[in-house]
Chain A
Amino acid sequence: MSDKGLISMVEREHINSLLIHGKRIDGRNFDEYRTITAIPNFVPKAEGSAIVKIGRTKVIAGVKASIGEPFEDTPEEGVVTATVELIPLASPDFESGPPREDAIELARVTDRAIRESKCVSQDSLVIIPGKKVWILFIDIYVLDNDGNLFDACELAALTALMHTQLPECKIITNEDGIEDVEVLETKKPIQLDHIPISNTFAKIGTNIIIDPLLKEESIADARLTLSFTEENKICATQKGGSGSFTIDEIKKCIDIASERTKEIRSKLNSIINPEGYPWSEER
């Protein structure tokens, strides 16, 4: 990321010298994830919403829905798109204005994980096949950046989708014999077929660490995000940064991410906590 905040040489040396001894600045192991909290339904006016905290990183996602026409090449599928905004509120490194490439990359990777895992069931999205479908916009705002926005955005999108309710629809035929949609008052949760969870790694020198902090990211050579479905299939990958990985390093990351995403998935019930506190607890 080009707009990354500067880091002093002393701090850089400090992070590096700890890594040599197998330690990290916040005391975690290389393959240890920070505490995750997800607070659903933070914005009840949205069809679905969630705040996700990974350590001090905070991200909010909201789902809005409208009825529209499907894309021509996928007439029997609803539309789900994600956008990410790096708003200036979240970091001195972010500026206002239209999304730049960092934000676009975040959005596209989140989008890919949701789409390629076939997360949202088409049964919930298609109203009249080929004519009327639900179009879901997952808009994600980064609120506080302490690294690993990729995992935070994906988890926020997922949690918001898990709590999304859409109005039920009735298909009516008018006098001209044209089918139309009547939106009812009652709401029904959407059905999710798959649950993608992602893990992001940062490579600093020859060390590879999971769930990097902002400071770790700012001296990292490269980044790797891997998304797994509950069937242990990889549904999205994104390498970033101007460094490189060896094939063996990638294979090792796959093995670690396969384990870690399973752990996160098994703890999802305790991670998602409607009573959770969304802000910083201590400063």
Chain B
Amino acid sequence: MTNKEKTVLITKNGIRHDGRKKTDLREIRFEVGILDRADGSAIIYWGKNKILVAVYGPRELHPKHMALPDRALIRCEYRMATFSVTERKSPAPKRREKEISKILAEAIEPAVFDYLYPRSVIDVFIEVLQADGGSRCASITAAALALADAGIPMKDLVVGCAAGNLNGEVVIDLDDVEDKEGQGDLPIAVLPLSGEVVLLQSDGVFNPEQYKEALDLLMDACQTIYKLQREAITNKYAKITEEIIEPVEVEPEPTEAKVEKKKGEKTEEKKETEEKTPKKKASAKKAKSEQSEESEKKKKTSKKKEKKTPPKKDEEAKE
């Protein structure tokens, strides 16, 4: 193995092949609520990884015999696109994907208040569009966001990150080259608020001291990622609020004729909705209809907002 190594994985000064230091993370970026049909969705860009996650549920479970009498089943499907890796991957799910699906579902379960939805299923679909090392950690980090976006009650988010052993040095966040040529890979996922470890695997070799050092470094790294993750979801909703407030400020501006027209259009809709929906929603619609909506885009996003927030109200109502 050692004589084959072409790249210098880590220099004496602790600089890695892509210029990062020991504990530097690759660039991580999230987008939340990016798919229309899914109840919740997110994409994570982590280094060269591009991973899409969609959440459906809680919904009716098929086949029924899999139903759990006291809680929701959390079903996870981790798949890699055939073009996500250098050599085309065959489309049939491999043992690796099945194993990862299982451990990801087990890692998500502790974060979700699954007992609220007995006999139902929460489906988490993960599609790795491009893989570049650490895809399972990136997947779970994105999955937590997609679950939150779906309005599923959670006690915490979930954050994943991997450590590695490069020629005896413990480093954080391996990329593909480091994963393949390094001496060890230690992926972990934690609930960032409580510090509980919900996913832990390793391959390659670590001596116990390195392993413990890696665990400590990973806890810090996960807190850093957690901040980005929180930002991603709060930004999403902060943005929507702005878009709704904005038109109110602009309200006096449009000409009277235009406003009247709009009002005329909306009143019919209003009648319909008042008949069907409870007061809360109707009043929300009313408020909305008074705002002059300028562009299709804004219409869409505000509708989304409606779609997103009520689930919590509905849940409360159910209880």
**Please, which residues of chain A bring their CB within 8 A of the CB of B304?**
none
In this complex, the interface size class of chain A, counting residues with CB under 8 Å from chain B, is 35 or more
In this complex, the interface size class of chain B, counting residues with CB under 8 Å from chain A, is 20 to 34
**Please, which residues of chain B bring their CB within 8 A of the CB of A238?**
103, 200-201
A233 and B207 contact, CB distance less than 8 A: yes
List residues of A (201-250) whose CB comes within 8 Å of B's CBs: 224, 229, 231-247, 250
**Please, which residues of chain A bring their CB within 8 A of the CB of B98?**
101, 104
In the assembly, what is the distance between CA of A244 and CA of B196, in Å? 6
The answer to whether A112 has its CB under 8 Å from any CB of chain B is yes
In the assembly, what is the distance between CA of A237 and CA of B162, in Å? 13
In the assembly, what is the distance between CA of A117 and CA of B199, in Å? 22
The answer to whether A148 has its CB under 8 Å from any CB of chain B is no
**Please, which residues of chain B bring their CB within 8 A of the CB of A255?**
208
Residue of B nearest to A100 (CB): B98
The answer to whether B219 has its CB under 8 Å from any CB of chain A is yes
The answer to whether B56 has its CB under 8 Å from any CB of chain A is no
**Please, which residues of chain B bring their CB within 8 A of the CB of A251?**
212, 215
The answer to whether A258 has its CB under 8 Å from any CB of chain B is yes
In the assembly, what is the distance between CA of A250 and CA of B196, in Å? 10
Q: How far is the CB of A212 from chain B (nearest CB, A)?
A: 16
The answer to whether A168 has its CB under 8 Å from any CB of chain B is no
**Please, which residues of chain A bring their CB within 8 A of the CB of B203?**
112, 115-116, 235-237
Q: How far is the CB of B218 from chain A (nearest CB, A)?
A: 9
A107 and B197 contact, CB distance less than 8 A: no
A234 and B211 contact, CB distance less than 8 A: yes
**Please, which residues of chain B bring their CB within 8 A of the CB of A236?**
202-203
The answer to whether B153 has its CB under 8 Å from any CB of chain A is no
Residue of B nearest to A254 (CB): B208
In the assembly, what is the distance between CA of A116 and CA of B183, in Å? 9
The answer to whether A34 has its CB under 8 Å from any CB of chain B is no
B200 and A224 contact, CB distance less than 8 A: yes
The answer to whether B106 has its CB under 8 Å from any CB of chain A is yes
The answer to whether A180 has its CB under 8 Å from any CB of chain B is no
Q: How far is the CB of A121 from chain B (nearest CB, A)?
A: 14
In the assembly, what is the distance between CA of A231 and CA of B205, in Å? 10
Q: How far is the CB of A273 from chain B (nearest CB, A)?
A: 30
B99 and A104 contact, CB distance less than 8 A: yes
Q: How far is the CB of B137 from chain A (nearest CB, A)?
A: 13
1/0 per position for B175-215, CB-CB distance to A under 8 A? 00000000010100001000111111111111110011001
B202 and A237 contact, CB distance less than 8 A: yes
The answer to whether B247 has its CB under 8 Å from any CB of chain A is no
Q: How far is the CB of A259 from chain B (nearest CB, A)?
A: 11
In the assembly, what is the distance between CA of A236 and CA of B202, in Å? 5
In the assembly, what is the distance between CA of A244 and CA of B192, in Å? 12
Known contacts A104-B98, A244-B110, A247-B195: A254-B204 contact under CB 8 Å: no
**Please, which residues of chain B bring their CB within 8 A of the CB of A112?**
203
A258 and B109 contact, CB distance less than 8 A: no
Q: How far is the CB of B140 from chain A (nearest CB, A)?
A: 13
**Please, which residues of chain A bring their CB within 8 A of the CB of B219?**
247
The answer to whether A108 has its CB under 8 Å from any CB of chain B is yes
In the assembly, what is the distance between CA of A229 and CA of B203, in Å? 12
A247 and B215 contact, CB distance less than 8 A: yes
The answer to whether B227 has its CB under 8 Å from any CB of chain A is no
Task: Tell me which of A101, A116, A240, A244 contacts B197 (CB under 8 A).
Answer: A244
Name the residue among B102, B103, B110, B200 with the largest chain A CB count within 10 angstroms: B200
In the assembly, what is the distance between CA of A144 and CA of B201, in Å? 27
List residues of B (251-289) whose CB comes within 8 Å of A's CBs: none
Task: Tell me which of B99, B196, B199, B206 contacts A101 (CB under 8 A).
Answer: B99
B208 and A104 contact, CB distance less than 8 A: no
B197 and A239 contact, CB distance less than 8 A: yes
In the assembly, what is the distance between CA of A229 and CA of B205, in Å? 9
The answer to whether B95 has its CB under 8 Å from any CB of chain A is yes
In the assembly, what is the distance between CA of A107 and CA of B94, in Å? 13
A237 and B201 contact, CB distance less than 8 A: yes
Task: Tell me which of B110, B201, B208, B211 contacts A243 (CB under 8 A).
Answer: B110
B215 and A240 contact, CB distance less than 8 A: no
Q: How far is the CB of B64 from chain A (nearest CB, A)?
A: 14
Residue of B nearest to A233 (CB): B205
Q: How far is the CB of B135 from chain A (nearest CB, A)?
A: 16
A104 and B202 contact, CB distance less than 8 A: no
Q: How far is the CB of B61 from chain A (nearest CB, A)?
A: 13
Known contacts A107-B95, A108-B95, A237-B202: A232-B207 contact under CB 8 Å: yes
Q: How far is the CB of A194 from chain B (nearest CB, A)?
A: 9
Subset of 22 A-B contacts with CB under 8 Å? A2-B66, A102-B102, A104-B99, A105-B103, A112-B203, A116-B203, A231-B207, A232-B208, A233-B205, A233-B206, A234-B211, A235-B202, A239-B197, A239-B199, A244-B110, A245-B197, A245-B200, A247-B215, A247-B219, A250-B200, A250-B215, A251-B215
Interface residues of B, Cβ cutoff 8 Å to A: 66, 95-96, 98-99, 101-103, 106, 109-110, 184, 186, 191, 195-208, 211-212, 215-216, 219
Given contacts A233-B207, A234-B206, A250-B200, 13 further A-B pairs with CB under 8 A are A116-B203, A116-B204, A224-B200, A229-B205, A232-B207, A234-B207, A235-B205, A236-B202, A238-B200, A239-B197, A241-B106, A243-B110, A258-B208
7 tightest A-B contacts by CB?
Answer: A244-B196, A237-B202, A239-B200, A242-B109, A233-B205, A101-B102, A116-B203
